[in-house]
Structure 1
Amino acid sequence: MKKEIPFGLATIPLAAMIVVMAIAVVYLEQGPHMPLIFGTTVAAIVAWRVGFQWDEIEKMMYKGIRLALPAVVIIMLVGLTIGAWIGGGIVATMIFYGLKIITPSLFLVSICAICAVVSLAIGSSWSTMGTIGVAGMGIGLSMGIPAPMIAGAIISGSYFGDKMSPLSDTTNLASGLTGTDLFVHIRHMLYTTIPGLIIAFVAYGIMGLKYGASGMDAASINQTMEILQKNFVISPFLLIVPVLVIVLVAKKVPAIPALIIGIILGFISQIFVQGGSVSSALSALQSGYVIDTGNKMVDNLFTGGGLDSMMYTVSMTIVAMTFGGILENTGMLDAIVKQILKLAKTAKGVVASTVVSCFATNATCSEQYISIVIPSRMYAKAYREKGLHSKNLSRALEDGGTLTSVFVPWNTCGVFILGTLGVHAFEYAPYAILNFVVPIISIFYAMTGITITKLSDAEMLQAGNEEEETAAV
């Protein structure tokens, strides 16, 4: 017979998943999929023990997956876009002109800005740090700038684009899992992220003045620009494509049509501007663009994209949502959230609690994606009940989840940065300014009510109807 699941019992699946996640991800250096499947299994057993039948549990998993389907579609389109834009020379053109803005006196500001532009173009902080970031570390060190300082500027810029790009998987996850339009989500994040970036630029400008007079060996940058010119047709006209997508965003065109237009233009550019064949352009869409210039940095940056590259994220999302589906529909999440909301009884407290919970998930689950997936399901109902628009939740998820992952040494992001940039999380933490300033701004907004959007009466009614329809499925 079904009964309300007590708090202690509700925490068992989450605790089991966290323990296995720590062992698998941190110690064994494996992905998060198997720990999530283990957590799903434990959750199913707990649900069965309290009286749920297997067919009910199965429907709960499907219901969780169904919630993620819009995000899955967008993520797949993102893979196609990246492949098309790399093959079409659009990314190369953006990077080429971006590299031109580096100046010795403003190196930290410049490398942060370049990483922001590149990650905004490709939607990936890891790809940006693993390519432009590596080059930036070498150049900065030759100027006598401390490694943690350089790494902090690179991370801040890289995560700006990772958070704000419509091509980013975390951006699409946060918007998709909360039922928020992608571009509504991005526009709402401007209120916290742009001030954070400005603060970072000012801080890097002040820090960089001490090192600007020593000069800079720009040989590696010039070499990269020469390789780009040899392998791609670099033209300012190609910048029309990302500009057009931005215009479509401003005109509030839905995400899927906007991305499809970008994909088509990138596909056409690869054939008619870069001189590629139809076969190679199709291959870039399916399996990603491949290049071999002999330069490891350039090859790493421009080999990627495509539908296949997104299957890891898609499968992770599906597995995570089976776990979330059981936790939510059995009432386990409600039992956990009730305890949290005893400390956060107001709308202000809920938003602040979301940011803190995302960081806690990063620290306990060791995976950036999970810090978005789990809190999104934990707090969705609380936001509706308190009359808060879903874009408040989606922004809090990114402010607290996407950005803070870099501060946890055993999180996959912290491990990646250590291996790529050679700097430990505790060393670069004071200099990853955007990453810690934005969550602070987000909590400040929550406490003061600034930019916190309430649902109108009509939206409240609609949200209630949608909740009833979802529950009936």
Structure 2
Amino acid sequence: MDQQNERKIGFWMALLPLVVMIVVMIFTVVKLEQGPHIPLIIGTSTAAIVAWRAGFTWKEIEEMMYKGIRLALPAVVIIILVGLTIGAWMGGGIVATMIYYGLQIITPAWFLVTICLICSIVSLAIGSSWSTMGTIGVAGMGIGLSMGIPAGMIAGAIISGAYFGDKMSPLSDTTNLAAGLTGTDLFDHIKHMFYTTIPGLAIALGVYAFLGNRFAANNIEVEEIAQTAQVLKESFVISPWLMLVPLAVVVLVAVKVPAIPALVIGIVLGFLSQIFVQGGTLIAGIEALQSGFTIATGNVMVDALFNGGGLDSMMFTVSMTIVAMTFGGILEFSGMLMSLMNQLLKVVKSSASLIISTIGACFLTNASCSEQYISIVVPSRMFSKAYQNMGLHSKNLSRALEDGGTLTSVFIPWNTCGVFIFGTLGVSVVQYGPYAILNLVVPLISIIYALTGFSIVKLTEQEKEKLAVDELKKEKVNEEVNLA
């Protein structure tokens, strides 16, 4: 018991590593214009010192960091595969084909609306925002930039669409995670999210339609778009058959082939396209996978768009993810994050404050632990009992977890989602943040509903009785385990 008391970290000491990291991060990134790795390492070091002072051994602290890294390994694998996909699809002419046909059929005035809807549909079908951004999103960036639309706006529309589908798809891992951890039926969870997410998408599309008016055909260089399309046609073999490659990946994931093998098939098809369709050499194909595709057309826009991708281009993102998760691992497994959460629970006096606290806790976890999955797991553990005690249905909790956790992860530059977007789309949080409209407004809508009581579902008497019986069964099982 003495050891447990000694190792319990109080609120202010738990807050210290987070404050140190954020202060150093702001100074380093904003003032010195340097990367976020070193501030995160300083934050990790501060967290390690706090944990050591609380009684944890260095071996235990190391294990906390390793646990954090292990949580991020699935994300690291996807990041690497997306880098390979971009390199293969650049070299195979697949991205060029998507951009070429996109320039023919999409008007600048409606581009932001169109790309948001396309990403929504694709992400809804495959259940993955990352896969959508790493494939359709990359092509969308090329089309939008060719039309003279700012990178931040394009990325914001792509992110809004990708996260709408990710949030509402029954194939999404975060959607299943939020439903599973709270004991909510998956489709009840999705239906309950309609109240916040559909209005959020409608608002986003309205904003993108308004912004798109600035880029009507008479306000941009139509000749420049035509010239870009012509350079693409001269530099690549453009064929509608190449559209079958991204379609194959979408179909594979839609029929429940796991994301990793589906992406690998997409990489192989892109590599073969570079060799047999574009006429590239085997060495050039391998170089595109390793260090990225390179091309020199003389057209500044095309060269900027198509020199990139490959495994090497994702190493910044991979290293950032690993460093961020060492910090998050110590906060999570030393109990510091739990201490911060407990402080939030103290201000909960009503169902409205409970839901708002849940959303705030999810955002705090995204900022401190740098991983959207943890932002769902930890608050679900912390707040589950409180929702029961207040007579609130679990789908209120599952929706708050997604509104506050899944969607806000993109606004933290050192979160795995923010890092992935920067590595894939080449746009920083500062640039795309104001234009990721869906991600901005849905948490606000959720808070408004909490304050007004709209769509907040109470437990019925039968549901309360069932929960009480289940709780007694759990206690009995725990007693038997303890006796054994």
Partners of 1:51 and 1:255 in 2: CA distance: 42
Matches within 5 A, 1:303-452: 303-343=307-347, 352-353=356-357, 355-356=359-360, 370=370, 372=372, 375=375, 378-379=378-379, 381-382=381-382, 393=401, 396-402=404-410, 404=411, 429=434, 433-441=437-445, 443=447
The answer to whether the Cα contact below 8 Å between 1:354 and 1:397 also exists between their aligned partners in 2 is no
Tell me what 1:113 maps to: 114
The answer to whether the Cα contact below 8 Å between 1:71 and 1:175 also exists between their aligned partners in 2 is no
Tell me what 2:64 maps to: 60
What's the offset of the Cα at 1:25?
0.8
Aligned to 2:407, the other structure's residue is in SS state helix
The counterpart of 1:245, out of the listed 237, 241, 249, is 249
What's the offset of the Cα at 1:52?
1.0
What's the offset of the Cα at 1:434?
3.9
Task: State whether structure 2 residue 131 is matched by structure 1 residue 123.
Answer: no
Tell me what 2:38 maps to: 34
- The unaligned stretches of length 5 or more in structure 1 are 139-149, 167-171, 469-473
Partners of 2:347 and 2:241 in 1: CA distance: 54
Structure of higher CA gyration radius: 2
Matches within 5 A, 1:10-25: 10-25=14-29
Amino acid at match of 2:295: I
The answer to whether the Cα contact below 8 Å between 2:141 and 2:151 also exists between their aligned partners in 1 is no
Task: State whether structure 2 residue 280 is matched by structure 1 residue 273.
Answer: no
The counterpart of 2:77, out of the listed 63, 73, 80, is 73
TM-score (norm. length: structure 2): 0.70
Partners of 2:161 and 2:134 in 1: CA distance: 6
What's the offset of the Cα at 1:110?
2.1
What's the offset of the Cα at 1:111?
4.3
Partners of 1:58 and 1:425 in 2: CA distance: 36
What's the offset of the Cα at 1:213?
8.8
What's the offset of the Cα at 1:264?
1.1
Amino acid at match of 1:49: R
Question: Cα deviation per residue 1:244-292 (whole Å; 9 max; x = unaligned)?
Answer: 1111222121111111111111111111111111111111111111111
Aligned to 1:100, the other structure's residue is in SS state helix
Amino acid at match of 1:310: M
Tell me what 1:5 maps to: 9
Amino acid at match of 2:50: V
- In the superposition, relative to structure 1, how do residues 420 and 203 fare at CA in structure 2: closer, same or farther (>3 Å)? closer
The answer to whether the Cα contact below 8 Å between 1:98 and 1:114 also exists between their aligned partners in 2 is no
Amino acid at match of 2:18: L
Partners of 2:431 and 2:109 in 1: CA distance: 18
What's the offset of the Cα at 1:160?
3.2
Amino acid at match of 2:157: G
Aligned to 1:29, the other structure's residue is in SS state coil
The answer to whether the Cα contact below 8 Å between 1:68 and 1:176 also exists between their aligned partners in 2 is no
The answer to whether the Cα contact below 8 Å between 2:296 and 2:303 also exists between their aligned partners in 1 is yes
What's the offset of the Cα at 1:196?
3.8
Superposed CA RMSD in Å reads: 4.8
Matches within 5 A, 1:78-97: 78-97=82-101
Partners of 2:146 and 2:365 in 1: CA distance: 32
Tell me what 2:183 maps to: none
Partners of 2:439 and 2:330 in 1: CA distance: 32
Task: State whether structure 2 residue 265 is matched by structure 1 residue 261.
Answer: yes
Question: Cα deviation per residue 1:416-459 (whole Å; 9 max; x = unaligned)?
Answer: 9xx989xx979x94x764453344355568775689xxxx99xx
What's the offset of the Cα at 1:222?
0.5
Tell me what 1:147 maps to: none
Partners of 1:19 and 1:6 in 2: CA distance: 21
The answer to whether the Cα contact below 8 Å between 1:83 and 1:289 also exists between their aligned partners in 2 is yes
Task: State whether structure 2 residue 165 is matched by structure 1 residue 154.
Answer: no
What's the offset of the Cα at 1:216?
5.3
The counterpart of 1:231, out of the listed 230, 235, 242, is 235
Amino acid at match of 2:109: L
**Paired-residue identity, %:** 49
- In the superposition, relative to structure 1, how do residues 99 and 339 fare at CA in structure 2: closer, same or farther (>3 Å)? same
Question: Cα deviation per residue 1:332-373 (whole Å; 9 max; x = unaligned)?
Answer: 0000011123345889866654554566789x89xxx94748
Aligned to 2:105, the other structure's residue is in SS state coil
Amino acid at match of 2:327: F
Question: Cα deviation per residue 1:291-340 (whole Å; 9 max; x = unaligned)?
Answer: 11112221121111111111111111111111111111111000001112
Partners of 1:267 and 1:229 in 2: CA distance: 19
TM-score (norm. length: structure 1): 0.72
Matches within 5 A, 1:136-151: 136-137=147-148
Tell me what 2:306 maps to: 302
What's the offset of the Cα at 1:60?
1.0
The answer to whether the Cα contact below 8 Å between 1:87 and 1:267 also exists between their aligned partners in 2 is yes
- The unaligned stretches of length 5 or more in structure 2 are 120-129, 167-171, 181-185, 388-393, 458-465, 479-484
Tell me what 2:127 maps to: none
- In the superposition, relative to structure 1, how do residues 274 and 207 fare at CA in structure 2: closer, same or farther (>3 Å)? closer
Partners of 1:68 and 1:420 in 2: CA distance: 22
What's the offset of the Cα at 1:15?
0.8
The answer to whether the Cα contact below 8 Å between 1:85 and 1:91 also exists between their aligned partners in 2 is yes
Q: How many residues of Structure 1 are paired with residues of Structure 2 in the alignment?
A: 422
Matches within 5 A, 1:168-179: none
Question: Cα deviation per residue 1:118-144 (whole Å; 9 max; x = unaligned)?
Answer: 998652899779755544447xxxxxx
What's the offset of the Cα at 1:228?
0.9
The answer to whether the Cα contact below 8 Å between 1:112 and 1:156 also exists between their aligned partners in 2 is no
- Worse overlay, 215-224 or 392-401: 392-401
